């Protein structure tokens, strides 16, 4: 089945728009927006919320097979779009400073995005119906073997991608808590 790359093009368009806004803020203020400033916080919060939606909403939909709210193909596209745009906004939020826990969180974010590209490649190798559901019966023996190998690769990928994602969100929540405590509550 030919896969549509609509989510990648929409992600690129969103990144171009966000970059234009970011460039305008730099032009207007004559400085890179500080992570702790209004614009820095704004793009960080929106980016993190997109990342959270990436993880939570897609995971819920993936586990509810009888849900009437959209097919898995559309939800995977949503997952990819928010999984690219959210981290990009968080990267801009850093003000290009990668120290301490925030730097480690940024590194985990980059790793999880790269891992997502690998997972997308593996996922596209699994035969699917028009609705986006896995085809469980391959007609020829070689196709069945290839399908089994692809499923094993996807299983290994999940065993790596999901724990890194969990570590990312733990680090992100600690970063957010520390930022709120030190930058907001102690002022």
pLDDT digits (tens, 9 = 90+) for 37-49: 889 889 988 999 9
**DSSP secondary structure string, the chain?**
-PPP-HHHHHHHHHHHHHHHHHHHHHHHHTSPPPTTSHHHHHHHHHHHHHHHHHHHHHHHHHH-TT--S--HHHHHHHHHHHHHHHHHHHHHHTTT---HHHHHHHHHHHHHHHHHHHHHHHHHTS-B-TTSPBP---SSHHHHHHHHHHHHHHHHHHHHHHHHHHHHHHHHHHHHHHHIIIIIIT-
Tokens 């028009």 belong to residue: 130
User: Of residues 136 and 186, which shows the higher confidence score?
Assistant: 186
Whole-angstrom distance, CA of residue 45 vs CA of residue 90: 8
What local confidence, expressed as pLDDT, does residue 68 receive? 67
Domain boundaries, the chain: 6-185
Report the 10 Å Cβ neighbour count for 180. Answer: 11
User: What is the pTM for the complete model shown?
Assistant: 0.74
Residue 187: which pLDDT band, with cuts at 50, 70 and 90?
Answer: low
Contact 90, 48 (CB under 8 A): yes
List, for residues 61-111, the tens digit of each pLDDT value. Answer: 777 766 667 777 788 888 889 988 998 999 898 888 877 777 888 888 888
Contact of 128 with 1, CB cutoff 8 Å: yes
């Amino acid at each position: 089945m030919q896969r549509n790359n609509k989510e990648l093009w929409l992600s690129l368009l969103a990144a171009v728009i966000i970059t234009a806004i970011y460039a305008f803020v730099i032009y207007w203020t004559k400085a890179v927006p500080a992570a702790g400033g209004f614009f820095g916080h704004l793009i960080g919060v929106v980016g993190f919320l997109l990342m959270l939606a990436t993880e939570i909403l897609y995971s819920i939909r993936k586990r509810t097979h009888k849900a009437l709210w959209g097919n898995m193909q559309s939800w995977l596209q949503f997952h990819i779009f928010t999984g690219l745009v959210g981290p990009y906004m968080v990267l801009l939020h850093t003000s290009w400073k990668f120290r301490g826990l925030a730097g480690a969180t940024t590194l985990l974010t980059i790793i999880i995005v790269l891992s997502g590209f690998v997972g997308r490649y593996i996922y596209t190798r699994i035969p699917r119906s028009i609705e986006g559901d896995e085809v469980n019966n391959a007609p020829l023996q070689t196709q069945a073997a290839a399908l089994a190998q692809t499923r094993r690769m996807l299983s290994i990928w999940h065993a790596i991608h999901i724990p890194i994602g969990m570590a990312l969100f733990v680090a992100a929540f600690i970063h957010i808590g520390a930022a709120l405590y030190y930058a907001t509550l102690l002022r």
